[in-house]
Structure 1
Amino acid sequence: MFTPIPYGRLNSRQKENYNFHKVAARMADFGFNCLRLTDDWQGADFIACHVDGQTFLKVQLKGRLCLDKKYIGKEIHIAFLRGVDCFIYPHDELLATALSNGAMNAESERWRDHGQRHWPQPPAWGMAFLANYKL
């Protein structure tokens, strides 16, 4: 009755829905209830509310490790899946790490010209950073 659908056959909106549910299911294991937003609110695709009643995360879904100038100072967490692994990291902490270790600077072409930087395969320093944010 149930036949798995290959991820590659999904359109972009279906992939975003799929990724949301995969991330939300993983976050549930850590006491979070995820509320999907109909449009980006303060840069977030969803809000993750912890059972402690005090922790609320604004989360943006992405397909990979990334930075974007539009998220700076907004207390955004970025969530992405890499194989069976799920990562949710604070955007501004990754930015600080990338700048402090020299992996990126204000003159990095993509950052300077487009306000973005992403890594399809996280570099070694990125994986070290992500080790603290793997669910």
Structure 2
Amino acid sequence: MLCVVCNITESKYRCPKCKTRYCSGPCYKEHVCTVCDHPGEVQEIDVSYPKLQDLLFPTDDTVLPQMLEKLKESTHLCSMLTNPHLRDILVQVDSSEKVEKHIQAAMMEPIFTQFVDVCLSIVDPQENDSDSSMD
């Protein structure tokens, strides 16, 4: 799909708020966000993290936002994200309209499965410990 701003280059990204497809930083800044009505402006949001009992539909697999925040702090994860192949896979999954299909394909890539394992070990370290004790 082409960038909705310049209509020249293939879109690689989506606005996190309105999901508009764009190709670059300049096009992102130029797009008119239908959600926040401010072109390309990222608004700071006051985030107070919910507790598990406050979530609408928690499951056994629900990961609390506090645990997801730990992903940002991982130097190992950050170093993995310097791999252009991994970033391309993540962009494909994120921008796909058929996410399940792209995740299945991505799971065939060793770099992606390693990335998933590192993410899981960060957000659920006890689960990871119990898996390794079964080996």
Larger RCO (alpha carbons 8 Å, 6+ apart): 1
Q: TM-score, normalised by structure 2?
A: 0.27
Question: Which structure has the bigger radius of gyration?
Answer: 2
